[in-house]
Amino acid sequence: MKRLVLLFWAGIAILALCFPQAALAADLANGTKVFDANCAACHAGGRNVIMANKSLKAEDLSKYGMDSLDAIKTQVTNGKNAMPAFKGRLSAEQIEDVASYVLDKSEKGW
């Protein structure tokens, strides 16, 4: 029994060491800065000045399949339609942070 418990905790420790990124939360303060500098011109307050029906509000994100961190990161990275791609302009960390910020704000109702 002791051996089983020891193996369990050893497995947890190995996972924590091998996958440290999963344990770290995105930096929402940095996401705010990235959003304000790069996104707010078109998306201030969660709105969309180009296509009003595709806002960053939770119901619109859900309606268009953009209600996950991965979907938002893909949109920011690659752009689509009138939205430019930010790949090459923002680092992967900045994209992660701004996507987390957008998802957080949408869940809180902007």
- Integer-rounded Cα Rg, in Å, for the chain is 18
- Is residue 8 a contact partner of residue 68, using CB atoms and an 8 Å limit? no
Contacts by 41-48 with C-beta closer than 8 Å and gap 24+? Answer: 42/83, 45/110, 46/105, 46/106, 46/110
Q: Is 18 annotated as a binding residue?
A: no
User: Is 42 annotated among the ligand-binding residues?
Assistant: yes
Distance set, CA 59 to CA 16, 66, 84, 88, 94 (Å): 35, 10, 23, 30, 25
Residues of the binding site for heme c:
39, 42-43, 83
Residues of the binding site:
39, 42-43, 83
